[in-house]
Structure 1
Amino acid sequence: MIKDVRFILNLKPDFGGGVMSEPKSPTPTPAGDTYKGWVFKWTNYIKGYQRRWFVLSNGLLSYYRTQAEMGHTCRGTINLATAVISVDDACNFVISNGGAQTYHLKASSEVERQRWITALELAKAKAARMQAESDDSGDDFSPSSLQVGGGQGGGHQNSEVQSTLRTLGSKVEDLSTCNDLISKHGSALQRSLSELDGLRLTGEAGDKIRQVTERATLFRITSNAMINACRDFLSLAQSHSKRWQKALQAERDQRVRLEEALEQLAKQHNHLERAFKGAAQAHAIVDNKGTAGPGKGEASDEDDENEFFDAMEDAPEFITVPADPQFHKRSSSNVSGLNTDMCADDQSLNEEPLAMNQESPSQELVPLRKRRTRIPDKPNYSLNLWSIMKNCIGKDLSKIPMPVNFNEPISMLQRLSEDLEYHELLDKAAKCHSSLEQMCYVAAFCVSAYSTTVYRTGKPFNPLLGETYELDRRRESGYRSLCEQVSHHPPAAAHHAISDRGWTLRQEITVASKFRGKYLSIMPLGTIHAIFEKSNNHYTWKKVTTTVHNIIVGKLWIDQSGEIDIVNHTTGDRCHLKFAPYSYFSRDVARKVTGVVMDKDGKAHYVLSGTWDEKMEFSRVMQSSRGGENGTEGKQKTVYQTLKARELWKRNPLPDGAESMYYFTALALTLNEPEEGVAPTDSRRRPDQRLMEDGRWEEANGEKQRLEEKQRSARREREREAASQRASGQSEDGAPHDSHKALWFESCEDQITGEQVHIYKGGYWETKELGSWEGCPDIF
């Protein structure tokens, strides 16, 4: 008995910092510092306890399957401020948070279990204190009590002093917590030792001795934590005392220097004012005498200085990369020539609209139509999501009639016409002499089409079969656009736009969507074509995937992601654009777009960069070097030496009050504006869409159901006609059940892509001039 007691007492902590009787292991650090380790966690009755990586930090206990998951996937987190920590047996312990979360854990040994228990108790005590302090309106360290000097650097020093004082205060609180724990465990240890004195050598002796050993070990670990906290406190106090004195003296010296500098600036300002007044009087006397020689000479000197400083600013246009010095000299001599050519092209582009207006003076006599700048504000209607979703169980989402509460008062045809928001980019591209520079403007136009979708979370109206939409901006901007819904299942819309300034745009878009639970992916299928008359260059590209996040819960937001390859089928030039998806862990700017313009041989000529919601810039490549070609990511290691970036496109600001008008742009506000002479199938004439724009949503929902039922009845009638024709032998076997044919577009095979598409066959604008719409179907 006496021998066992002596063995237990030999486990007392070494307060002098000496070597313990057991091997060293990581000591739990106070809450706020991170404590990590492997612990076995109970999962279920099949797998039992599984090894998990636990991290204790800032009063939160989180766990992961592996250490590699710490950067991206947390399996669970429990807040220790309100948690209950209990011990089951030698190695097991339980952490519970009010019944909502309960972790049954098992350590690898009793000592390891005690280390975790101590770390958890420290973290719990500190988390509880922090929670109480956050509820309290008082602050122990007010900024006013920490002012150590004036000057511009005072705020930085004050914040540093506050941070240090908070750290010291935290260490003091850790000492207090350790003291409480030592008192509690010391008392328990004393009681156990007292029980040993009166214990007889029976079967219970072993259990009691083990209990005493466990508590002695816990006492030693807690004492070590207290000693570490004391050591940290002492080192912080010693290191920061001199630092605070130096900081205070530096603040005082800086304040004196700032006062002297302010006095000097005031004197210089007064001197410049007197000099300016004298120069103005002298200049007035020279002008009165009619001799401007000295004035010109001074102006000439200023121009020389401006030119000199501009040259100095052009010097760092190259990205600093290892290169041959002779190449730098050779390229720098060509910088001015390259910039001159580019600026000349831009100047001719800016002057082109003026020249066109001068060629047709008759248009100046007729004033342009004034477009509307507002629509009725969006009503604040509540929406019961469950009343809609319960009707969707077991049904195809694409065939469920959705209320207009999810919509915006324009159709998909009008939304497709919004791609022409920045048509001036195509106007500039049509005037470019270089196909590679033309590719840059085409790429900017491709990106600009997404700028209207940043805040537009409303769904456009699904067009009825045969519905059309015209956008005639020939007098204002030189182009005409026509869209028609050519198919209903799957929904497909054909679009054709032609400009008097030398370009044609056509596309047929089919939308495929996938609902992923938290988000909805919208994948536009189809190819976009841009043809330029002067150069005969023919460009094609496809659209990227649009993702709508927080479909069920949270605020809706939209992201664009994917890659686009723009190909010039005439010259073989190619532009590769990459839309980076949004990531919480990325350091790059949100909505980032990057691209490279290459010739048919794969040589890079321009680098594009920017965002799809703000602007795009392009830089001319002077030299490129490829590193790590043997690796799997050789393309990402290519280094381009470029000139200074120049702006290609910038988004126009939204109109005033756009947040209450569905975040429509200036062009979108005019899309549904009533116009005379349009086709009876035009989206402007759609009654449910018009009622929604006017704020009469209940009537719009009823009208929407009527139109959809009318469309289904027309489809069934066409199917019956097709079936009767097949029965009578008037139609070939295998003919489609729906015999609908587009009115203004014809189906054919695209010569460039080989796809089956609808291409404009002409006749719409001629029919509009005649005002004869007898061939249009009655869809409204």
Structure 2
Amino acid sequence: MSEPKTPTTPAGDTYKGWVFKWTNYIKGYQRRWFVLSNGLLSYYRTQAEMGHTCRGTINLATATITVDDACNFVISNGGAQTYHLKASCEVERQRWITALELAKAKAANMQAESDDSGDDFSSSSPPAAHGQSGAAQNSEVQSALRTLGSKVEDLTTCNDLISKHGSALQRSLTELDSLRLTGEAGDKIRQVTERATLFRITSNAMINACRDFLALAQAHSKRWQKALQAEREQRVRLEETLEQLAKQHNHLERAFRGAAQANASADSKSTAGPGKGEASDEDEDDNEFFDAMEENPEFITVPADPQFHKRSSSNVSGFNSEMCSDDQSLNEEPLAMSQESPSQELVPLKKRRTRIPDKPNYSLNLWSIMKNCIGKELSKIPMPVNFNEPISMLQRLSEDLEYHELLDKAAKCHSSLEQMCYVAAFSVSSYSTTVHRTGKPFNPLLGETYELDRRRESGYRSLCEQVSHHPPAAAHHVISDRGWTLRQEITVASKFRGKYLSIMPLGTIHAIFGKNNHHYTWKKVTTTVHNIIVGKLWIDQSGEIDIVNHTTGDRCHLKFAPYSYFSRDVARKVTGVVMDKDGKAHYVLSGTWDEKMELSRVMQSSRGGENGTEGKQKTVYQTLKAREVWRRNPLPDGAETMYFFTALALTLNESEDGVAPTDSRRRPDQRLMEDGRWEEANTEKQRLEEKQRSVRREREREAASQRTSSQSEDAVDEDCLTDPSLKSAHHDSHQAIWFERCEDRITGEHIHIYKGGYWEAKDRGSWEGCPDIF
């Protein structure tokens, strides 16, 4: 079929052509046939549909036309309908804009004429669902009309008085003039007469203008009332439509969950994830959904031949016995703390809290705040505590230690490949605490710290410090008496995309085991919060993790499958393969990041047939029976009213003596929020942020002063001239307290590494170097 490349202009006011129209996030811009005729803009999928199926129409008389960029423009009629359009070039876009503006002007004139000659306006009653609000608005309008009517009567009365008194004044002046007085008195009378005549002319002009204004106001009052009623009815329709859409969304979500649970019970699989993504604004019968989320698996696992079970029975039993012996040894091993100070054996362990105050029910207009955040870095936008949960990002990082026992077991492994399995399970376990956690943690203040001392209970000590504010970066260091060290520096980048929020952690996590000096590194995956505006919030994790043992060369590749509405696979699925330095697979990991992980030993691998869609060969692994390596702990009772905190998270913000004055437990706005005093927390949060800004400005002024001083010294300092690094060494805007910036010898990244001194300062109770940030 021959299709014109540019809009055509047949006889009359008709204008037509191909334009790209935004449909949804799945399909993006799609080419549609648009027709502009008689003040109406309609579109069709093809030219052939013009005779039978119109996809949508906008009345240009009440529409607004805006230009986004060179080729994009938007047409909206007040919110009920909005078309985001894109022309093939700037010239074509300008042709459409010109035609639309002309059609809009003609349509507006025609509507004005029809309104002027229309029947008398009679107000229609609002819908029953909004009767009270409509009655209140109608009463307010009637009151305003009565006030205007009284003012009109006042103007009429003033008009009559001015005419009456003006005529009497003119008669009196005429009588004075008839006396024919001479001299100075006669001149004064003539001047007064001239001024009175000018005043009467001006008064008559004002009276005539008022009379014309009243006539116009009365003539247009019907149009104003009709427009007001139309706006009211349109708002009511929009509210009803939004309410209906929300109900339909919830109904679909419940139906999907029910179907997913039914399928899961039939197939013995886990329950499926959240509801369907955004649908197109066009008819759903002809929609073509392209599932870019679901991907074919990279490998296939099948049960190994029985002969392998006997051949490897000793190895398998060794691995299982090691797991059991590890668990037993962890329970029986005496703590290093008790060896250092035997008197502490008699001191009972501190009883940690198991509840926090319930989350209050505060209403908040989410869209009024989030609409200004689209495409921006959320760490630079002040947000009320209503979006937060009462812990800081430093405490959220410390939650990675929820399943620290996996690292305890890894430290006792004799095989580096088995140790890799535990490290991989630990990297997955840190995401299990986020499945229901849609709240945002507090952004730490610069210099804020958080310690988690569980040495007596679990054998480890953890310390976090906020080492940078823009971009926000936190350094974390954990040392365990059971043979491992964990450190990381995480920078969080986040973008709000309208429907979802993407959180991208940047930075490398290091796990070092002292027994065999194995050094592992990996990075975190992307966290996505969906249904930001409409529907129930839900969280997904997606991406890939490569865990590398830099001592032996072993690797583990983990893949977090993004949620797909069309996938028949289990939701939140994670798969991985543990390989040695030669690329030979030894273990296959599988499970979900919110529930459990299992491992299977690979006995044999081979290349399978080609994938028909991509032409790639899949690897087939013959594995032994899968064994569970990690399972998520159940949530505490009533967790849904306590921000879905885990048992560890409930204790993170518990008040504790002896911590640093910069510790997150001492942060007042966070404490007020936990106590349910959110309004006071918002006020306190603004105070702390303004205090941080003033300290930063002072630090910048000091840095500028030092820079000026050093430049004058550079004029006579030859060492500075030959080594520029000496000039910039003194101008670091902020120096961390407990961490120092250096180059990591493994990754080559410039990161902050713990330099020591914190726990010694705590033992002494000496915090002189800590800034006043709260």
Instruction: Give the TM bin, normalised by the shorter chain.
Output: 0.5 to 0.7
Q: d(CA) in 1 for partners of 2:199 and 2:445?
A: 79
Residue range with higher mean Cα deviation, 47-56 or 115-124:
115-124
Distance 1:117 1:519, change over 3 A: closer
Structure 1 residue aligned with 2:766: 772
How far off its partner does 1:364 sit?
A: 3.5
Residue range with higher mean Cα deviation, 324-333 or 57-66:
57-66
How far off its partner does 1:515 sit?
A: 1.8
Distance 1:563 1:280, change over 3 A: closer
How far off its partner does 1:493 sit?
A: 0.3
Distance 1:273 1:585, change over 3 A: closer
How far off its partner does 1:538 sit?
A: 0.3
How far off its partner does 1:94 sit?
A: 26
Note if contact 1:149-1:255 (Cα within 8 Å) is conserved in structure 2.
no
Q: d(CA) in 2 for partners of 1:616 and 1:646?
A: 9
Indicate whether 1:106 and 2:86 are aligned: yes
Indicate whether 1:603 and 2:561 are aligned: no
- Choose which of 557, 565, 572 in structure 2 pairs with 1:576: 557
Residue range with higher mean Cα deviation, 128-137 or 384-393:
128-137
**For residues 284-340 of structure 1, what are the alpha-carbon distances to aligned partners after superposition, in whole Å with 9 as ceiling and x for unaligned?**
999999999999999999999999999999999999959888667645787656655
**For residues 717-769 of structure 1, what are the alpha-carbon distances to aligned partners after superposition, in whole Å with 9 as ceiling and x for unaligned?**
01101111111226999978762100000000000000000000000000001
Note if contact 1:413-1:469 (Cα within 8 Å) is conserved in structure 2.
yes
Distance 1:103 1:434, change over 3 A: closer
- Three-state SS of the structure 1 residue aligned to 2:461 is strand
Structure 1 residue aligned with 2:251: 271
Higher relative contact order (CA 8 A, sep 6+): 2
**For residues 498-548 of structure 1, what are the alpha-carbon distances to aligned partners after superposition, in whole Å with 9 as ceiling and x for unaligned?**
000000000000011122111111100000000001011000000000001
**For residues 615-671 of structure 1, what are the alpha-carbon distances to aligned partners after superposition, in whole Å with 9 as ceiling and x for unaligned?**
111111111112258999687611111111111111111111111111111111110
How far off its partner does 1:39 sit?
A: 19
**For residues 327-381 of structure 1, what are the alpha-carbon distances to aligned partners after superposition, in whole Å with 9 as ceiling and x for unaligned?**
6764578765665566555554555469998998654411000001111111101
- Three-state SS of the structure 2 residue aligned to 1:126 is helix
How far off its partner does 1:385 sit?
A: 3.0
Q: d(CA) in 2 for partners of 1:514 and 1:291?
A: 29
Q: d(CA) in 2 for partners of 1:550 and 1:510?
A: 25
Note if contact 2:356-2:642 (Cα within 8 Å) is conserved in structure 1.
yes
**For residues 408-447 of structure 1, what are the alpha-carbon distances to aligned partners after superposition, in whole Å with 9 as ceiling and x for unaligned?**
1110000011000111111011011111001001011100
TM-score, length-normalised on structure 1? 0.59
Distance 1:773 1:631, change over 3 A: same
Residue range with higher mean Cα deviation, 193-202 or 140-149:
193-202
Note if contact 1:373-1:666 (Cα within 8 Å) is conserved in structure 2.
yes
Note if contact 2:43-2:56 (Cα within 8 Å) is conserved in structure 1.
yes
Q: d(CA) in 2 for partners of 1:319 and 1:217?
A: 105
Structure 1 residue aligned with 2:726: none
How far off its partner does 1:561 sit?
A: 0.2
- Choose which of 292, 296, 314 in structure 1 pairs with 2:276: 296
Note if contact 2:603-2:622 (Cα within 8 Å) is conserved in structure 1.
yes
Q: d(CA) in 1 for partners of 2:192 and 2:537?
A: 60
- Three-state SS of the structure 1 residue aligned to 2:474 is strand
Residue range with higher mean Cα deviation, 682-691 or 360-369:
360-369
Note if contact 1:524-1:545 (Cα within 8 Å) is conserved in structure 2.
yes
Q: d(CA) in 2 for partners of 1:321 and 1:206?
A: 125
Structure 2 residue aligned with 1:10: none
Q: d(CA) in 2 for partners of 1:206 and 1:326?
A: 138
- Three-state SS of the structure 1 residue aligned to 2:441 is strand
Note if contact 2:377-2:494 (Cα within 8 Å) is conserved in structure 1.
no
Q: d(CA) in 2 for partners of 1:193 and 1:217?
A: 10
Note if contact 2:502-2:529 (Cα within 8 Å) is conserved in structure 1.
yes
- Choose which of 67, 74, 79 in structure 2 pairs with 1:94: 74
Residue range with higher mean Cα deviation, 205-214 or 36-45:
205-214
Q: d(CA) in 2 for partners of 1:200 and 1:322?
A: 132
Provide the identity percentage. 91
- Choose which of 345, 348, 355 in structure 2 pairs with 1:374: 355
Distance 1:137 1:68, change over 3 A: same
Q: d(CA) in 1 for partners of 2:466 and 2:644?
A: 25
How far off its partner does 1:98 sit?
A: 18
Residue range with higher mean Cα deviation, 381-390 or 481-490:
381-390
Distance 1:216 1:668, change over 3 A: farther
How far off its partner does 1:400 sit?
A: 2.3
Note if contact 1:407-1:460 (Cα within 8 Å) is conserved in structure 2.
yes
Distance 1:602 1:165, change over 3 A: farther
How far off its partner does 1:474 sit?
A: 0.4
How far off its partner does 1:701 sit?
A: 0.6
Distance 1:341 1:160, change over 3 A: farther
- Three-state SS of the structure 2 residue aligned to 1:372 is coil
- Choose which of 744, 747, 760 in structure 1 pairs with 2:741: 747
**For residues 541-596 of structure 1, what are the alpha-carbon distances to aligned partners after superposition, in whole Å with 9 as ceiling and x for unaligned?**
00000001111222111110000000000010000000000010011111110011
Note if contact 1:185-1:219 (Cα within 8 Å) is conserved in structure 2.
no
Distance 1:230 1:602, change over 3 A: farther
- Three-state SS of the structure 2 residue aligned to 1:255 is helix
Distance 1:148 1:367, change over 3 A: same
How far off its partner does 1:399 sit?
A: 2.4
Distance 1:774 1:203, change over 3 A: closer
Indicate whether 1:736 and 2:730 are aligned: yes
Note if contact 1:722-1:737 (Cα within 8 Å) is conserved in structure 2.
yes
**For residues 699-721 of structure 1, what are the alpha-carbon distances to aligned partners after superposition, in whole Å with 9 as ceiling and x for unaligned?**
11111101000000000001101
Distance 1:581 1:139, change over 3 A: farther
Note if contact 1:168-1:236 (Cα within 8 Å) is conserved in structure 2.
no
Q: d(CA) in 1 for partners of 2:440 and 2:246?
A: 61
Distance 1:368 1:78, change over 3 A: farther
Q: d(CA) in 1 for partners of 2:266 and 2:81?
A: 88
Q: d(CA) in 1 for partners of 2:377 and 2:768?
A: 36
Q: d(CA) in 2 for partners of 1:136 and 1:502?
A: 88
Note if contact 1:368-1:475 (Cα within 8 Å) is conserved in structure 2.
yes
How far off its partner does 1:283 sit?
A: 49
Q: d(CA) in 2 for partners of 1:584 and 1:212?
A: 90
Distance 1:267 1:745, change over 3 A: closer
Q: d(CA) in 2 for partners of 1:239 and 1:437?
A: 88
Residue range with higher mean Cα deviation, 66-75 or 543-552:
66-75
Note if contact 2:591-2:598 (Cα within 8 Å) is conserved in structure 1.
yes
Distance 1:63 1:341, change over 3 A: farther
Distance 1:367 1:731, change over 3 A: farther
Note if contact 1:594-1:610 (Cα within 8 Å) is conserved in structure 2.
yes
How far off its partner does 1:388 sit?
A: 3.0
Q: d(CA) in 2 for partners of 1:308 and 1:107?
A: 24
Note if contact 1:544-1:563 (Cα within 8 Å) is conserved in structure 2.
yes
Q: d(CA) in 1 for partners of 2:385 and 2:224?
A: 65
**For residues 160-213 of structure 1, what are the alpha-carbon distances to aligned partners after superposition, in whole Å with 9 as ceiling and x for unaligned?**
999999999999999999999999999999999999999999999999999999
Distance 1:673 1:37, change over 3 A: same
Q: d(CA) in 2 for partners of 1:725 and 1:198?
A: 93
Residue range with higher mean Cα deviation, 187-196 or 264-273:
187-196
Note if contact 1:573-1:597 (Cα within 8 Å) is conserved in structure 2.
yes
TM-score, length-normalised on structure 2? 0.59
Structure 2: any 5+ residue segments left out of the alignment?
716-728
Note if contact 2:43-2:55 (Cα within 8 Å) is conserved in structure 1.
yes
Distance 1:530 1:106, change over 3 A: closer
Distance 1:122 1:540, change over 3 A: same
Distance 1:339 1:97, change over 3 A: same
**For residues 257-300 of structure 1, what are the alpha-carbon distances to aligned partners after superposition, in whole Å with 9 as ceiling and x for unaligned?**
99999999999999999999999999999999999999999999
Q: d(CA) in 2 for partners of 1:326 and 1:370?
A: 52
Distance 1:122 1:743, change over 3 A: closer
How far off its partner does 1:249 sit?
A: 68
Distance 1:328 1:774, change over 3 A: closer
Q: d(CA) in 1 for partners of 2:290 and 2:144?
A: 46
